[in-house]
């Protein structure tokens, strides 16, 4: 078939609709999902089972290319699921992300002209400070194949990770092969190695390596573990080497038992002039350069004053709390993850910040508890997960009646739905500034300000 790509789906793949005849001669619509294509392109595609309503297929040929199409620089791009837009010029990606944010808020009845152009990166490569690689059953280390969760693309390079992170990951891969260690088979639930998490501070250069395995490094694996320790000694910036036991059937990086092989169980990082300790399970923005811009924008748009009280919802380890604390009278941070709250307290102490209170509780109940002792906030900030804050939390924020609300979001759809809840409480959206933290992917972050109407 020859089809026109008229839009992109939520995963960033091209979307086409065409008509074909079924076996009875009736016209039926066929919806096609075609990865690595761009809006406005005309492509030739071969479709198996065209009698189905929807199919996914790669383009056989680009008959008419978009003027924004470029050559993908990574050798893994066509198969790897880490990036979806390396074939798209960076300017085209940024324009699409701006239009997407505008469309999402317009759907909820807001003025799309309130959305500024997306702030991109000067150099949109090597930007990630954390990667999670997966071991295939034969021990190969890499990333999942696009659209095939059970297939792993062996790692040779990764252009969105730092060169140092790739280098140490390849050294671990070589160690696995030399010791003939098995990878984990998701279907049979057997095998040793599951994931490798590598994290690097771009500010301090420190690297953490965390190896997730189905058993500990004792007894039969002690020799292999000792060799891994020895091999990592040549990488002077590896300050934390961990072996983490994970026997759960769920395919996610988690730990039931922690073995510290070498160094500390955390690394130091810095952001916006503040120092943070990062453990293997600490949530921290994965693009430090753009994350600093997020913090700077939040401070600039919020205009905090030293006479104001502030609440920081979903505060994590204090990424926004610490910079804001130095600009307000007092700040209360709320986060459901207890380990993150302990980290936030420690980070505040490390940075000599004494006007903060941190509470380990869910957002809705945490607000109630803080309001009792804290009083009405002048400024409230929230940075929820991709699922958004939800109607109950947003209505609780509306009833608290802060003068200004700063909402940082990684999902324009749930952001628009959330802020719609505030209209009945007398608030209006003032500005939305998208920031690109994940070049070559569909994701976009934003900072917004919502103010109480006078």
What CA–CA distances, in Å, run from 375 to 122, 358, 401, 432, 451?
Answer: 43, 15, 11, 28, 19
Calpha distance 112→106 (Å, rounded) = 6
CB 30 within 8 Å of CB 53:
yes
80 is a catalytic site residue: no
What strand order describes the sheet that includes 330-335? 356-360, 330-335, 309-313, 379-382, 404-409, 445-452, 427-435
Separation CA 132–CA 253 (nearest Å): 8
3-state secondary structure of 176: helix
CA distance 416 to 112: 11
Name 244's bridge partners: 212, 258
Q: Alpha carbon of 369 to those of 267, 334, 377, 425, 447: distances in Å?
A: 33, 10, 13, 21, 26
Residue 23 Rama label (left phi>0; alpha psi -120 to 50; beta): alpha
What count of other Cβ atoms lies within 10 Å of the Cβ of residue 447?
A: 27
The packing angle between helices 391-400 and 363-374, to 10°, is: 10
Catalytic residue among 80, 158, 315, 410: 410
What count of other Cβ atoms lies within 10 Å of the Cβ of residue 218? Answer: 10
CA angle 103, 105, 111 (to 5 degrees): 95
Question: Would you say 178 and 135 are in contact if contact means Cβ atoms under 8 Å apart?
Answer: no
Contacts of 200 (CB under 8 A, 6+ apart): 129, 130, 162, 164, 165, 206, 207, 208, 237
26 burial class (0-12, 13-18, 19+ CB within 10 angstroms)?
exposed
Only one residue has tokens 């103010």, namely 451
Which is nearest to 257 in space by CA: 226, 208, 230, 217?
A: 217
Q: Which residues are catalytic?
A: 410
């Amino acid at each position: 078939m020859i089809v026109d790509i008229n839009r992109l789906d939520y995963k960033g793949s091209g979307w086409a609709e065409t008509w074909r005849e079924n076996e009875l001669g009736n016209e039926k619509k066929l919806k096609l999902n075609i990865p690595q294509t761009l809006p406005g392109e005309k492509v030739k595609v071969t479709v198996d089972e065209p009698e189905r309503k929807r199919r996914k297929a790669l383009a056989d040929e680009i008959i008419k290319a978009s003027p924004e199409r470029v050559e993908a620089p990574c050798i893994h791009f066509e198969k790897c699921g880490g990036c979806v837009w390396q074939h798209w010029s960076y300017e085209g990606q940024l324009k699409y992300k701006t239009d997407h944010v505008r469309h999402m808020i317009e759907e909820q009845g807001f003025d799309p002209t309130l959305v500024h152009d997306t702030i991109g990166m000067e150099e949109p490569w090597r930007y990630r400070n954390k990667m999670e690689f997966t071991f295939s059953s034969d021990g190969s280390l890499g990333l999942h194949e696009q659209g095939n969760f059970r297939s792993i693309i062996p790692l040779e390079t990764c252009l969105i990770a730092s060169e140092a992170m790739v280098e140490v990951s390849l050294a671990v891969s070589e160690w696995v092969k030399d010791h003939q260690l098995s990878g984990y088979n998701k279907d049979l639930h057997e095998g040793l190695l599951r994931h490798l998490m590598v994290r690097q501070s771009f500010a301090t250069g420190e690297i953490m390596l965390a190896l997730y395995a189905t058993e500990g490094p004792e007894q039969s694996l002690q020799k292999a573990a000792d060799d891994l320790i020895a091999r990592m000694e040549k990488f002077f910036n590896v300050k934390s080497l961990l072996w983490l036991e994970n026997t759960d059937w769920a395919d996610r990086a988690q730990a039931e038992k922690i073995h510290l092989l070498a160094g500390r169980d955390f690394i130091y990082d810095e952001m916006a002039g503040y120092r943070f300790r990062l453990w293997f399970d600490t949530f921290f923005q994965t693009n430090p350069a753009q994350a600093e811009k997020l913090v700077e924008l939040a401070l600039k748009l919020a205009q905090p004053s030293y006479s104001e009280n502030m609440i920081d919802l979903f505060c994590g380890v204090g990424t926004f709390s610490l910079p804001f604390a130095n600009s307000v009278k007092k700040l209360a941070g709320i986060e459901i993850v207890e380990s993150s709250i302990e980290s936030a307290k420690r980070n505040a102490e490390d940075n000599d910040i004494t006007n903060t209170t941190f509470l380990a509780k869910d957002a809705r109940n945490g607000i109630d508890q803080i309001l009792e002792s804290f009083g009405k906030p002048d400024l409230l900030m929230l940075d929820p997960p991709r699922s958004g804050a939800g109607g109950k939390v947003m209505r609780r924020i509306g009833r608290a009646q802060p003068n200004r609300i700063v909402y940082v979001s990684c999902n324009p759809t749930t952001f628009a739905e959330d802020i719609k809840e505030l209209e009945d409480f007398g608030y209006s959206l003032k500005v939305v500034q998208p920031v690109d933290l994940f070049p070559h992917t569909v994701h976009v972050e934003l900072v917004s300000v919502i103010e109480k109407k006078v």
